[in-house]
Structure 1
Amino acid sequence: MIIATINFSGNVGKSTVANHLLMPRLENAVLIPVESINEHEGDKDEVLRGREFQELMERAMIEENAVIDVGASNVEEFMAQMSDYTSSHNDFDYFVIPTVATRKQIDDTWATIEELSDIGVPRDKIKIVFNKMDRYSTVSDAFGKLLSLNNSDNLCSINESISIADNELYPKLKDQNRSISELAACDTDYRELINEEQSKEGKVKLVRELGLVRLAKGVESQLDTVFFEMSL
């Protein structure tokens, strides 16, 4: 299976969706970043740019499962190359488009959907992830414009249950070398360690670690539900 996370807009959580929603739930999955070299935080030898489309597809098609994370600065070129390589969009099983409830991002999300549709991607291959949802809001309230546009043109398959709540865990992950799945799987008895720790500084560190694990367990459960609803 080949899945691309994509959106013309930045700051919608594409990499979060790729790394924490998709990768842990796809067997033997390989992550392929497509972005400018100076934007990538990991191994630069693994990075491809949008114009390196043939190499990208060669790498993806030999894997059991591949998640292609297309950075916003490379989406336009990626789309152009996919259009030039006639029918290459058929090699992708799904295009996952994370979006957030701000005007520009919603407009860019619809532009992404339209572009994929123009290339020939069928509606059932385009999956929308409503990201960073306020717990007191609903998808229909936050994304009314996007839902209205799709009700009119019917370019993608929308399931309002594919929504990820905003959570204080996500910004904290930047300081971690562990994924949400790894944190959620932790079975360390932190309460016992806290009781045994002598220093206040040590206790505070352990309490914070316990908080991260508890947040991760809740988020992991939600992501399991979201992945199920995606029906990949």
Structure 2
Amino acid sequence: MKVAVLNYSGSVGKTVTASHLLAPRMNGAQIFAIETTNETAGDLGLDIDQMRGEQFGRLFRDLLTLDDAIVDVGASNIEDFLTAMNRYEGAYEELDYFVLPVINTGKAQRETLKTVMALAGLGVAAECIRVLFNRVESVVEDEFMPILTYANTSGEFVANPNAAIFENEVFELLADGRTTIAEVLTDETDYRALLRSTDPGDEKRIAQLSNRHALRALAKPVNRQLSTAFAALFSPVQG
């Protein structure tokens, strides 16, 4: 499966989507970061191939040889990316899905719909455009009504309310630690045992160990929720 993650709106969770939701569930997919200014999956320790939006020709050639890929398109590069993609007839067909993360601000939702219209204008089929609701505080239907309403009336994209990532401090902690949920969960260190054997006066060491243990405890339920979101995001469209 080959997936592009993009949105005209910045700070909606594109790198979180690529790094924590998609990468662990896509067979070791190559990650391409179309970014020049902001954080990428590479900042979290993942192996990426970084390029600019206007370098779509190089990306297109790479996609032809891959079964699985994640293309994380930064907001600062999306215009160049879409313009360059449009130069190659049918190039969008090399991507199975276009995933649009969105948060519950008016600006982000308006720019998400702008992104939908741009993709639809290029000829991307509705079932290939999927919205991912990010930083959900409580109920998707209450926080993202404009998106859901437009999806139902226009038929230009898929907006499944179950494709949602809920607000959680774990993502900020992961960014601070320059790590991913997958890496945290594969860490088999017994932090409880290390804490018991640490000098009680070594406050810095105790803080580090307790933070790592707490991060793993926090990451486990979030990872299960991400698996639910992933399944909903790519679920077949009901005819």
SS of the residue aligned with 1:56? helix
Per-residue deviation, residues 29-84 of structure 1 (Å, max 9, x unmatched) = 10001122x446649x9321111111011122222311000000111111112222
Secondary structure of 1:191 counterpart: helix
Instruction: Tell me the residue number matched to 1:196.
Output: 197
**Cα root mean square deviation, aligned:** 1.8
Match of 1:32 in 2: 32
1:107 is the counterpart of 2:110:
yes
Q: 1:133 aligns with which of 132, 136, 139?
A: 136
**Any residues of structure 2 matched to 1:170-209 within 5 Å, and which?**
170-200=171-201, 201=203, 202-209=205-212
Q: Distance in 2 between matches of 1:109 and 1:4?
A: 14
Aligned position for 1:145: 146
Q: Residue 68 of structure 1 is aligned with which of 67, 71, 80?
A: 71
The TM-score with structure 1 as length reference comes to 0.92
> For the structure 1 residues 196 and 40, does the alpha-carbon distance in structure 2 shift closer, same or farther, using more than 3 Å as the test?
closer
* Change in CA separation of 1:170 and 1:153 when aligned onto 2, cut-off 3 Å: same
Question: What is the rounded CA distance, in whole Å, between the counterparts of 1:178 and 1:73 in structure 2?
Answer: 24
Match of residue 169 from structure 1: 170
How big is the shift at 1:143?
A: 0.4
The TM-score with structure 2 as length reference comes to 0.89
**Deviation string, structure 1 residues 84-130 (Cα, Å, up to 9, x no partner):** 21111111100010000001000000010111111111111111110
For residue 58 of structure 1, the aligned residue among 56, 61, 65 is 61
| Alpha-carbon distance in 1 for matches of 2:123, 2:6 | 16
Q: Distance in 1 between matches of 2:33 and 2:195?
A: 40
Q: Is the 8 A contact 1:133 1:164 kept in 2?
A: yes
- Contact persistence 1:21–1:227 (CA under 8 A): yes
Matched residue SS, 1:51 = helix
Distance in 1 between residues matched to 2:146 and 2:38, nearest whole Å: 31
Among 226, 230, 234, the alignment partner of 1:231 is: 234
Gaps of 5+ in 2: none
Partner letter of residue 35 of structure 1?
E
Give the structure 2 partner of residue 19 of structure 1: 19
Cα distance in 2, alignment partners of residues 221 and 78 from structure 1: 33
Give distance in 2, aligned partners of 1:48 and 1:186: 31
State whether residues 147 and 159 of structure 2, in contact with CA within 8 Å, keep that contact through their aligned partners in structure 1. Answer: no
Contact kept in structure 1, 2:103 and 2:136, CA below 8 Å = yes
- The SS at the match of 2:218 is helix
Letter in 1 for 2:25: R
- The CA deviation at 1:187 is 3.0
Gapped regions of structure 1 (runs ≥ 5): none
Q: Which residue of 1 aligns with 2:9?
A: 9
What is the distance in 1 between the residues matched to 2:167 and 2:226? Answer: 12
Q: In percent, how many aligned pairs have the same letter?
A: 34
Q: How many pairs were matched up?
A: 228
Look up the match of 1:79.
82
Give the corresponding residue for 1:210: 213
Over 3 Å counting, the alpha-carbon distance change for 1:215 and 1:7 in structure 2 is: same
Contact kept? 1:184, 1:214, Cα under 8 Å: no
For the residues of structure 1 that align with 2:221 and 2:70, how far apart are their CA atoms? 24
